[in-house]
Amino acid sequence: MILVTGAAGFIGSNIVSSLNKKGFHNIIICDWLDHISKRNNLNKLIYDNIISPENIFKYLNKNDNIELVIHMGANSSTTETNFRLIYNFNTRFSRNLWKWCTQNKVRFIYASSAATYGDGSKGFDDSENKIYQPLNIYGLSKYLFDRYAIKQAKKYLCPPQWVGLKFFNVYGPNEYHKGSMQSVIKHSLDQYNKTGIVKLFKSYNDKFKNGQQTRDFIYVDDCVSLINWFLENKNISGIFNCGTGIERSFEDLVTSMFKAINVPPKIKYIEMPENIKHQYQYYTRANMKKVIDKGYKIKALTLEEGVYDYVTNYLLSNDKYK
């Protein structure tokens, strides 16, 4: 039996879809179905049961047939200001899952985030010895759990396999419940359909022109491919970046969207809200050397390929769900 937390969410539902394709149907969904799009994310999936997060430990303690926990559930709002709310779910809940997996010798794969790297001035190296300063409480909550996992693993108080994945800028189908936290590509197409233009934030850093702020954009299918690789390589544990290793600009991203819909780019640069200026990352690029050295071969789609697939096969389709 496989437990997937956040399984009605973005990356989680894509993972369950992939597991189904591999013939795994003995899956427990742990999530709140508090949005119609999250319920829609489950429509094509095959699973055994749905358990709400507040009841998951009661369920786990009564069932000894769980072999793998894939923990994608989180409050992923980078603008949330309630630290207690974020900490309780992203850090404390994760610690409790870690302890349960350790005690019951169950493999554990969880979602960390590139937000743990802060402003990028110290690089994006997934070494377990480097110290970073996240810019927001979401990144801090993920960073605190990463540090906990590293500390516990050094004392051998860890699951038989444990993997933390620092997801960079993921985009793709089934993200529609995320509201303001949806990918820039989804927001861009929505903006264009409503107004005929796409708005991007101006740069307030002399090193970056407007639109040239960069991210390591990765299609959700490529994230799932890396997770599948870890499922096949049970002897590999640790914290690893999940990106392409290539940075691209927001202008590149939006231009790819316009190309996918066969329309000339129409971009307007606007002021950045004051509440995010101090926590804005101007550059991200995953250092993928660590996982490559372990034997993983990156076969990620280019930005243009990923955007084209997402736009034409999902966002413009009558059925936009995976």
pLDDT tens per residue, range 90-114: 889 999 999 999 999 999 999 999 9
Note whether 31 and 8 are within 8 A (CB).
Answer: yes
Q: What single DSSP character describes residue 160? A: S
Q: Tell me the CA distances in angstroms from 37 to 45, 143, 175, 231, 264, one per residue in order.
A: 14, 29, 8, 28, 31
Same domain, 152 and 30: yes
- The catalytic residue positions are 138, 178
In a domain, 164, yes or no: yes
pLDDT tens digits, residue range 225-275? 999 999 999 999 999 999 999 999 999 999 999 999 999 999 999 999 888
129-137: Cβ within 8 A, 24+ apart: 135/278, 135/279, 135/280, 135/281, 136/78, 136/79, 136/80, 136/279, 137/80, 137/81, 137/83, 137/86, 137/87
Range of the domain at 253: 176-214+247-281+305-315
Same domain, 74 and 29: yes
Q: How far apart are CA 166 and CA 36, in angstroms?
A: 28
pLDDT interval class at 85 (50, 70, 90): confident
Number of domains in the chain: 2
Note whether 224 and 301 are within 8 A (CB).
Answer: no
In a domain, 320, yes or no: no
Same domain, 114 and 161: yes
Angle, CA of 79, 197 and 185, to the nearest 5°: 50
Same domain, 259 and 110: no
Same domain, 102 and 185: no
More confident residue, 44 or 86: 44
In a domain, 51, yes or no: yes
The distance of Cα 206 from the centroid of its chain, to the nearest Å, equals 29
Output the domain CATH number for residue 268. 3.90.25.10
Same domain, 19 and 42: yes
Mean pLDDT in residue range 193-204 = 95
pLDDT interval class at 189 (50, 70, 90): very high
Same domain, 185 and 225: no
Same domain, 161 and 28: yes
In a domain, 25, yes or no: yes
The distance of Cα 239 from the centroid of its chain, to the nearest Å, equals 14
What type of residue sits at position 189? L
Note whether 27 and 19 are within 8 A (CB).
Answer: yes
Confidence at residue 77, expressed as pLDDT on a 0 to 100 scale: 61
Percentage of residues of the chain with pLDDT beyond 90: 82
Model confidence at 210: pLDDT above 80: yes
The distance of Cα 313 from the centroid of its chain, to the nearest Å, equals 21
Same domain, 89 and 223: yes
Same domain, 75 and 101: yes
In a domain, 321, yes or no: no
Output the domain CATH number for residue 122. 3.40.50.720
Q: What single DSSP character describes residue 90? A: I
Same domain, 88 and 183: no
CA atoms within 13 A on the CB side of 269: 10
Same domain, 240 and 156: yes
97 membership: H or E segment, kind and range: helix 93-104
In a domain, 322, yes or no: no
Q: What single DSSP character describes residue 206? A: T
In three-state secondary structure terms, 85 is: helix
